[in-house]
Amino acid sequence: MAKMAAAAALTREGGEDAFRRLFRFYRQRDVSDLRGVVDFSVPGGQVVRSQLSISSVSDQDAYRAGLQPVSQWKAYGLKGYPGFIFILNPFLPGCQRHWVKQCLKLYPQKPNVCNLDLHMAPEKTIDLWGQSKEQLRKKGSSKWEPRSLLEKLRWVTLGYHYNWDTKKYSANHHTPFPSDLAFLSEQVAAACGFRGFQAQAGILNYYHFDSSLGIHVDESELDHSRPLLSFSFGQSSIFLLGGLKREEAPTAMFMHSGDIMVMSGFSRLLYHAVPRVLPNPDGTALPSCLDQGLSSDLPVGSVIEHSSDEDWQVCAKYLQSSRINMTIRQVLAEGQKFPDESGTKGKGQAPSEDGHHQENSRTKRHKPNTNTDS
């Protein structure tokens, strides 16, 4: 009870940088001190039901994206956070595996950009999966084993590539956005009332148990009228959603494998962070929702692909200590163009390997990066 009171006191205190205080609280406390975290699987308190636009997505299109019919989704919001929608795992059995495999095997491939490009020769990062799969498959439980390249992956950018230095997107650093991920994003956005959403940029973050995501606002997109979509796979995390200023204390919530968050309207430009990655609530190596493989029959036009047993073994080994998050954005409004970029330098490279993504070393605890805008 004393720990719960301490958490409550931190939340009530609206003084200078209340967000950072709560970030540090959840970053440093032990696992048993999480009773104040909102769990949408047992809604109550400030949790309210969210109405979805069921007619905007046909059941067939939902199936093609690997999703249950929208009428079966469980969507919630939070009092005081208009425009925030939390969807409890709406994926059909086995379909999360597709997105995990894409994030590990396909999306890190060139011409997409990743953190390893900053200090490795291009030919060394062409096939991260091929260079890592055997090492991952044979990996034991020792924390002292050498990490594979996939385990050193921190972020990948898609579509319009985010420039971590200028905190901007630009027309001259763009590669094709993955069509399967665009289709998934379009269905989720439409179900939340945003028909016509265009998936133009993606940032994939790869977390381990000692990783965190610093306090930031996603404001670099030129069109803030369109939502930010966030998909999580693998181990769980604590997500903090704050206000328009860092002096406003955030609300803490769990994100589990398959959960989707949508930040729109008032909530689109709120401060947020991930102070902690946690073992999944099932207490097993992988969440139970990842146990089941795909059914043999996929609908015509499905973007979901079957994964080989060999590929899934590699993915499963990776996820035993990791979490993958995909955030998808529309950068430009219909017909909108980027401003004159004559002064823009470089081609979207990050100033450091981690960007806004932090990981504690075994010998020294780093301060979380709290100044990143994406």
Annotated binding-site residue numbers for Fe cation: 216, 218, 272
Minimal CA–CA distance to 253: which of 236, 265, 266, 267?
Answer: 236
Q: Residue positions in the annotated binding site?
A: 216, 218, 272
Element (H, E) at 7: helix 2-12
- Pick from 349, 315, 285, 274: nearest CA to 151: 315
What CA–CA distance (Å, rounded) separates 68 from 284? 25
| Closest CA relative to residue 152, chosen from 314, 27, 299, 318 | 318
Which helix (H) or strand (E) segment holds residue 31: the answer is: none
How far CA 22 is from CA of 14, 45, 105, 208, 365, in Å, comes to: 11, 20, 35, 21, 17
Q: Which two tokens stand for residue 150?
A: 């996939």
Q: Which amino acid does the sequence have at 274?
A: V
- What gap in Å lies between CA 221 and CA 331, rounded to an integer? 4
309-319 and 128-137 helices, crossing angle to 10°:
80
